[in-house]
Amino acid sequence: MANAPDVSRLRGSIVPLVTPFTEEDEIDQVALRRLIDWQLASGSHGISVTGTTGEPSALSLGERETMIRLAVEATAGRAPVLAGTGTNNLKETLHLTRVAERAGADAALVIVPYYNRPSQEGLLAYFTAVADSTSLPVVVYNIPGRSAVNLLPETLSRIRAACPNVVGVKEAYTDLQQVSDILLTLGRDFLVFSGIEALCFPMLALGGAGHVSATANVLPHEVAQLYNLTQAGRWEEARDLHYRLLPLNEALFLETNPSPVKCVLGWMGKIHPALRLPLVPPQPAVQTRLAAALRDWAIHAPAQAAAQA
């Protein structure tokens, strides 16, 4: 059993990076390095790769290994790296977690196994097996909308009791009562990150440690500032920023993440906005709504999308 690790840097806006592809459908390593440099220069507090926004189910194991190694190398200790190592296959999850540990990642982000629909006892056994296999801090990723199973606070408490290196949870569940129950049951030092864009501010108000928001791909400074303002006690300014971000948060999820995010990053000239099937670029009507939501942020869409907005 691993000892409780130091997670003092694991706070704030940890951006869940997209996986950039070249026109030849390979990982665009140059674009990835540029994204990481831009994110850190813009104030993001951490980097995460091969989570939901990184299209992990469309990547081979080898590609996920490459993304983790590149992220650690490009970040170069300037911020913590939260490596997405979870799958719905225990052996693959253990393998990727070992890769992350060897590469020098700061923590592993491990999703509730999707498609399998395990029981709470199954989740306890699964996360215990993963945590016991590594000395890395482990952040559990609860996203019932994709996994079809909600990891209950009492189960998370049992996991934490068995595994001191399970240090937090990325909560992508809409029930704020569950967030309060987690912090009440596991203690205020347990790291709760918002995985839902519209709930980043409310979770900070409840005592959350930060957020892993896809919107940070597009507006890294502003999403990081949301956290910074709350830490400085400037709650009214943070509330105003929360409401200003809401229209873009909504627009970026009009189709399945990360399709709209990659579309916008393409407009910004940050990446070639390629996706892998079955994901496809946003439909024209969605692009029009994206263009409208971006006006407030001085991000310019192509003429056709902007003209229709």
With contact defined as beta carbons under 8 Å apart, do 108 and 138 qualify?
A: yes
**In the structure, how many helices (H) and strands (E) does the chain have?**
13, 8
105: tokens are 């990642």
Helix (H, G, I), strand (E, B) or coil at 232: coil
Known catalytic residues are 141, 170
176: tokens are 């704020």
Distance from the Cα of residue 203 to its chain's centroid: 15
- In whole angstroms, how far apart are CA 189 and each of 22, 107, 185? 41, 16, 11
Q: Shortest CA distance to 97 belongs to which of 124, 132, 70?
A: 132
Cα gap 262→273, rounded to integer Å? 5
- In whole angstroms, how far apart are CA 181 and each of 96, 127, 178? 31, 20, 5
Backbone φ and ψ of 47, nearest 5°: -125, 135
Helix (H, G, I), strand (E, B) or coil at 141: strand
With contact defined as beta carbons under 8 Å apart, do 183 and 154 qualify?
A: no
* Kind plus residue range of the DSSP H or E element containing 210: strand 210-211
- Other beta carbons within 10 angstroms of residue 84's beta carbon come to 31
Q: 113: buried, middle or exposed (CB in 10 Å: 19+, 13-18, 0-12)?
A: buried
Contacts of 69 (CB under 8 A, 6+ apart): 99, 103
